[in-house]
Structure 1
Amino acid sequence: MAGNVSAMPSRLHLLAKCGLALVGLSLLGATPDPGWTPLFDGKSLDGWTPKIKGYALGENFGNTFRVKDGAIQVGYEGYEGKFNARFGHLFHCTPQSNYVLRLEYRFVGEQIADGPGWAWRNSGVMIHGQPPETMRKDQDFPVSAEIQLLGGPEEGDRPTANLCTPGTNVVMDGKLITQHCTNSNSPTLRGDQWVQLEIEVRGSGLVIHRINGAEVMRYEQVQYDPRDPDAKSLMKGDELKISGGSISLQSESHPVEFRRIMIRPL
């Protein structure tokens, strides 16, 4: 593993922080929807840990991830005008396997200079991800399944809640899908509107993406791609199946906000 491993928070330390955060969330009382538990308290990043390419786990370079007005904001004012491929992810402290995750997101402002063209109004939510402490210091993305979030241009089609697969493959309609990204059938959503995303995850089985309550994609059997070196380092023998893992929010060079992040166990 590249980087200064000793500088990274230990697994035990991360779990202890997670426990304190969950206690704090429990003190918030009942959520508006019975059965749902908040993963974000609307006030702080308690229970969440950043990992930005080129930096140690836990270092929130440039204040990339911060909380304002009840939302997790992803911004680049501290980057001195250059993104330099510093892709980032904000990991929730608790791995998950069978659940429904619900949140709202929106794109705002302008993309930072030198951000990739494909990353304009582009972010994501990663599921079935590797533990953040196993990421290489210079790793772009965690091995995971990404629910790709896209904002629409003034004209033309650009669906959201697509699937991208860093270090993974999935099965769709009975066929193994090895291409990196697959589009959903969602409508194109333009402007700075808040969009509700819901992800239903059933362990190593079915995954469903929903936008504003409507199903836009389904697949199953998220699995390691043995062609990917990072994925191969996580495999136990020849076992490809992934039954659960980390959840993280992405920073890819365009400002984005997340709020009302809740989970319901299945």
Structure 2
Amino acid sequence: METIYNYFESIPPAHRSLILVLGIAFFWILESIVPLFQLKYKKFKHAGINIFFTLTTVLVNFPLAFLLLKTSDWTIANNFGVLQWLPAMPLWIKILLGVMLLDLLSAWLAHWVEHKVKLLWGFHLIHHTDHQVDTTTANRHHPGESMVRFIFTCFGTLIVGAPVAIIMIYQALSVVFSQFNHANISLPKKLDNVLSWIIVSPDMHKVHHHYKLPYTDSNYGNIFSLWDRLFGTFLKLPNQDIVYGVDTYFNERENSDIGLLLKIPFKTYKSPEKVDMKSTSQS
């Protein structure tokens, strides 16, 4: 465990990028072997849009990374944060607790706030406008949302008092788990149900991408499912009833245009026309 900790304490940027790329590649291949839905789309064109937003996320986070490191260094130097206030503990417990708390504050809380604050929802909406959810959807975030997520990550680091190694472990797990629970893969239902008691499983997260409330406002978790169960935001919906998208912005052609997607947070939303959403179902 100490070897792993030391590795992530000084993990090279190239290795972090490799985790991202290998994760996408692995689940991309798996989607072709055991798909959940037979999605009717041009896979490479769809991936191109989402990879564009992946790159914008990298461009936002890379120059700001020093702020995250400075926040972590400050908590250690000033003995501030949950991990700094607790008595000495085995390293594996410290890592697990740190990752869990970062998952709560930097992912679950950030996600919940984005759904509750209208301004932030405008940025997060781009993620929900994907009508063909697959592993690349995990990285479909407006640059504005990437900024919001970064702020919450700094906030989580401050409250947790997280050392750099734990932050890096958390971010690596966060990337892989997000790719996993967005992936268009079919797991045995019993296995998925068991996993959903511990981590966010694919079927659990797909409910969050259903086009209408209350399902859109549920299952906010990224790594651990505990938070949704604890805060009463856990919902189930049979796979065959899931329709991807969002009912306030349902035009699939417009939702495949990068230029229009970038403008969504800055425009006034019009009331959606009446459409038969079931006609767009992937099941």
TM-score under structure 2 length normalisation: 0.25
- Structure having the higher Rg: 2
Higher strand proportion:
1
